Structure 1
Amino acid sequence: MASATTKTPVENGSAAPGAGRRGLTLAVLCAGMFLVLLDVTIVNVALPGIGAALGTGLPGLQGVVDGYAVAIAGLLLGGGALGDRIGHRRMALAGLGLFGAASLGCGLAPGPEALIAARVAQGAGAALLLPGSLAVITAIYPGRAEQARALGVWAGVSSTALPAGPLLGGVLVDSAGWRWIFLLNVPIVALAVAGVLAFVHEPARSGASGTTAARAGGAAGRPPLDRAGMALAPLALGSLVWTVIAAGHGQRGTAVAAGAAAAAAAVALVAAERRAAAPLLPGAVLRAPAFLGANGVALIMNLVTNGTLFVLTLQLQQVEHRSALAAGALLLPMAVPLALVAPVSGRLAARFGTSAPIGAGVVVAGAGAFGLLAVGPDGSYAALLPVMVGIGVGDGLIVSAVVAAAMRSAPPGRAGLAGGFNNTARQVGTALGVAVYGAIAGPASPAARTPAFHSGVHALAWVSAGLWAAALALTAGKWLGRFPAVR
């Protein structure tokens, strides 16, 4: 077992940077992840303003949220594969550049179609950035104990995007307008690029990876890119999400067409992966129960969390008619525990193994889900507290441990793939959560206050509880590896 002081080579073959340099590298990578997650949550409190300014309803608002999540989810595996091929530092820089340019496009968008397109481009930039951050962190912190702690810091810092997003979004929307939630990214991206150039070094490819690449017969000993898989994966996922959105709003023709496109793309993806010399989803990954189980839990966590967040935002702003800033502040009981508990999860995983904190988090979040049964048109904030606290504490216990479990169970030499797959699972959950929960709850408005919306919210209590039960089954069964503690 690697010790906490194990070094790893970097690009020029020298030893890994010392503790100070590693800390700066970790800080820069955490900042990039924070920025990406900030744009998942910051947009929620801006949705009513965006809808009013651009003249779009609930399906369009779901597109604004899901266009970003679908692009990340569909392109992450390709981003991880590209990073394994050409270097994760280069991919991080390319991702930041695209993310910054797309943020500018979002801020200047003249209509909903242009905004959704720019959000898709934002997601593409994030997909280039995210896998490399995990690959670099696991390379510079190779020991299990220090790696679990580093991933705990990474998860804790990135998780602060949840409280920062609604609060910062509320301040910007109420003071300067919704466009500034995107325009503010531009100078932050410039600082992040400077940080990557100054502090992030490229980790060396492992011997296992190089040997595998050589056998694949690609140029310069590297495997050929799975271009078909990189094109078909986002098409299949995007069509699936749009099927759910269209079906939830009674658009049968659109739902049938999107469903047919999703099915055709999925079949073509399976066929392409079987023929590919270096598929995005290698057979070794798909035959690893622990890897699939950890990522299944990650998918469920994001599905329930972001679906619930979307519905609670509708409740606070459209049913209760609260301002963007007030809604952001009222979401803090969900956000703050997540940010505080996530680093603790990393330490618990290092001491007791990954299954214990994941199982505890699933139970806490599952218990909180039943609070949705008390949500009603009277606007009682106390009814929302068990839901938000349960998700905040539960997700905080899960997130670091489940990332550590996924990274440890990945095939040797495929850190980029593992990081891409884990983030893909989480973003697939985000996209499906917004689509499914929005479809079940339906539109909400302060004028109507019809029971249909709250009947849907009550149904979501049972949907959430069932999903958490599935996550608990994955945790308790053979599908999640019992990674040992590191003392």
Structure 2
Amino acid sequence: MLATLCATMFMAMLDNVIVNNALPRIGQELHSGVSGLQWVVEGYSLVYAALLLTGGTLGDRYGRRRVFLTGLAVFTAGSAAAALSGSTGTLIAARMLQGLGAALLTPGSLSILRHVFTDEKERAGAVGLWSGVSALGLAVGPVLGGPIVDAFGWAAVFWINVPIGVAGLLLAARVLPEFATRAKRLDLPGQALSALGFGALVYALIEGPTRGWTDPRVLALASVATLALPAFVAVEARSADPMLDLHFFRDRVLTGAAVSGFMISFGMFGAAFFLPLLMQDVMGWSPSDAGLAGLPMTAMIVVAAPLSSALTSRHGPRLPLVTGLALCATALGALSLYGADARYPQYVWVLLTMGLGMGMTFTPVSITIMQRVDPARAGMASATLNTLREIGGVIGVAVLGAVLSSRLATTLTESLQRLGAPAELGRHLQGAAPGSTAALPAPVHDAVNAAFIDALHLALRCGGAALAAAALLVALLLRPDRSATPSPVTGRPAPQPEAEAETETEAETAHR
């Protein structure tokens, strides 16, 4: 049972990031612009984030095993459809189907583990292994994606899921037990408003630079998002059984953890989307080289995770979270100093810094949930923070992509005017991925590459500034407070960030 659940979670997490190194090839073969490639990534993440909490509710209501198997079947079918896609639109639809499957199987996977392993020690080991395998999928995805694309083409990053999914279905049907269901009301208004609000916001941000910010469709969807998202918050605040429990955010320590998770995904997912385009389309690297270039970052994540756990147990979450955010902000800002002629040894220190910063933030968020929330509500808290992480990645790719696309269009138009190129060519190339212009005359191709690098530098600086602001906000939210006030989430005196080292906490016990 443990092997089945770990393997399927590894597959779902791997698929979240393995596609990044395939994006340049997808853009070249399917003739996708930057906005189309954004939707290939965003389609999966948006549906996954929007339905993650709903997946947990459906498992409680209709049976965790049944919903898990349904999710695994949908994910496997979506992977096959993505591999067979012959157009950008078909690929985006298949990625959304994958996101739906992942949202159904992820909550059920952890719930089944918690019920199967009844012994506290065994459960801690099982959940730890499950979490480690999930994190491993995120860490090795970019490294595996490059060689797979080089050897078998971009479709192989989706085909790899099919045999794993089929084997997982056969094993899960035999070994996973079913558990008693319990009546739980579906939060249909909250679900509808969240999907509508976030979907409209992401669409407006992605299509705005290409269509124009005054385009009627972009303005209409921006207006929908402006109305739907506040309405979602209002509905969740009044609901007796909300999809997103806003009571968690009355606790400033939990709020600080949520801000950290959201902003790390905002900055890092945005950077992870654009860097393969820079390395492969502009700098001429192969997918394998681009994937292996991330090994130092992956290694630092592995090193930093246990370090951050020890720091959190001794000093509370403030030090590792603020340090991690600051390091990531520094790394994004530093990346904007290097252009197409930079050599790998010059900026490998930036990748090490980024990996260290990311590794410092992962574990403290989970430990904070264990310390601040009643065990009965820990599942809801974990799902809430995981949803915010996914939404952070969705918004990060959309916002930084909007910055990049807008600057790219402006700079490219000016460069082509200086070259005397016709205005129709400039309009055609706005939003084009750099790799799609290789067949054009050398001056035009060089102008596209230069404009892309300039726009990427601006997007990276904006991401770095946002992470620096988040580091300051988290430092203020987690400031030391020696007075023990009752936690609004648990109802009992809450441990304060700097006072947690005085006695052994639940987090220290779980860490050992």
TM range (shorter): 0.7 to 0.9
Deviates more, 1:158-167 or 1:348-357: 348-357
Structure 1 contact 233–266 (Cα < 8 Å) conserved: yes
Question: Helix, strand or coil for the counterpart of 2:145?
Answer: helix
Structure 2 contact 206–402 (Cα < 8 Å) conserved: yes
Q: Which of 188, 195, 200 pairs up with 1:239?
A: 200
Distance 1:196 1:340 in 2: 33
Deviates more, 1:243-252 or 1:439-448: 439-448
Change (3 A) 1:169 1:486: closer
How big is the shift at 1:366?
A: 2.9
For 1:296, the equivalent position in structure 2 comes to: 259
Structure 2 contact 318–478 (Cα < 8 Å) conserved: no
Distance 1:190 1:407 in 2: 35
Distance 1:381 1:160 in 2: 24
For 1:394, the equivalent position in structure 2 comes to: 357
Q: Which of 26, 31, 44 pairs up with 1:55?
A: 31
Structure 1 contact 307–438 (Cα < 8 Å) conserved: yes
For 2:477, the equivalent position in structure 1 comes to: 478
For 2:461, the equivalent position in structure 1 comes to: 462
Question: Helix, strand or coil for the counterpart of 1:486?
Answer: helix
Question: Helix, strand or coil for the counterpart of 1:110?
Answer: coil
Distance 1:91 1:418 in 2: 21
Q: Does 1:182 align with 2:158?
A: yes
How big is the shift at 1:397?
A: 1.9
Distance 2:47 2:141 in 1: 20
For 2:98, the equivalent position in structure 1 comes to: 122
**1:241-281 deviation per Cα after TM superposition (whole angstroms, max 9, x unaligned):** 12111223353214212212222322442454355442212
Question: Helix, strand or coil for the counterpart of 1:413?
Answer: helix
Question: Helix, strand or coil for the counterpart of 1:109?
Answer: coil
Distance 2:192 2:324 in 1: 35
Structure 2, unpaired ranges of 5+: 406-430, 436-444, 480-495
Distance 1:407 1:337 in 2: 25
Distance 2:184 2:221 in 1: 33
Structure 2 contact 20–273 (Cα < 8 Å) conserved: yes
Distance 1:129 1:150 in 2: 17
Change (3 A) 1:266 1:394: same
For 1:269, the equivalent position in structure 2 comes to: 232
Amino acid at match of 1:453: F
Bigger radius of gyration among the two: 2
Structure 1 contact 441–454 (Cα < 8 Å) conserved: no
Percent identical pairs in the alignment equals: 36
Distance 2:169 2:143 in 1: 25
For 2:334, the equivalent position in structure 1 comes to: 371
Distance 1:267 1:474 in 2: 22
Change (3 A) 1:151 1:68: same
Structure 2 contact 326–357 (Cα < 8 Å) conserved: yes
How big is the shift at 1:165?
A: 2.0
Change (3 A) 1:408 1:233: farther
**1:289-346 deviation per Cα after TM superposition (whole angstroms, max 9, x unaligned):** 3333212211111111111111211110111122222211122222232244335544
Change (3 A) 1:239 1:409: farther
Structure 1 contact 84–417 (Cα < 8 Å) conserved: no
Structure 2 contact 333–461 (Cα < 8 Å) conserved: yes
Q: Which of 320, 326, 333 pairs up with 2:296?
A: 333
Q: Which of 140, 145, 153 pairs up with 1:164?
A: 140
**1:102-158 deviation per Cα after TM superposition (whole angstroms, max 9, x unaligned):** 1111112232111111111111111122234445566759979995x8766545432
Alignment of 1:93-104 (within 5 A): 93-104=69-80
**1:140-191 deviation per Cα after TM superposition (whole angstroms, max 9, x unaligned):** 59979995x8766545432333453233322232222211211210111233
Distance 2:463 2:148 in 1: 32
For 1:279, the equivalent position in structure 2 comes to: 242
Change (3 A) 1:89 1:375: farther
How big is the shift at 1:202?
A: 6.9
Question: Helix, strand or coil for the counterpart of 1:417?
Answer: helix
Amino acid at match of 1:375: Y
Q: What do you get for the CA RMSD once the two structures are aligned?
A: 3.2
Q: Does 1:71 align with 2:41?
A: no
Question: Helix, strand or coil for the counterpart of 1:414?
Answer: helix
Structure 1 contact 151–404 (Cα < 8 Å) conserved: no
Structure 1, unpaired ranges of 5+: 1-23, 206-219
**1:185-205 deviation per Cα after TM superposition (whole angstroms, max 9, x unaligned):** 011123334554566667889
Alignment of 1:332-371 (within 5 A): 332-346=295-309, 348-350=311-313, 353-371=316-334
Change (3 A) 1:73 1:53: same
User: Structure 1 length as normaliser, TM-score?
Assistant: 0.81
Deviates more, 1:387-396 or 1:403-412: 403-412
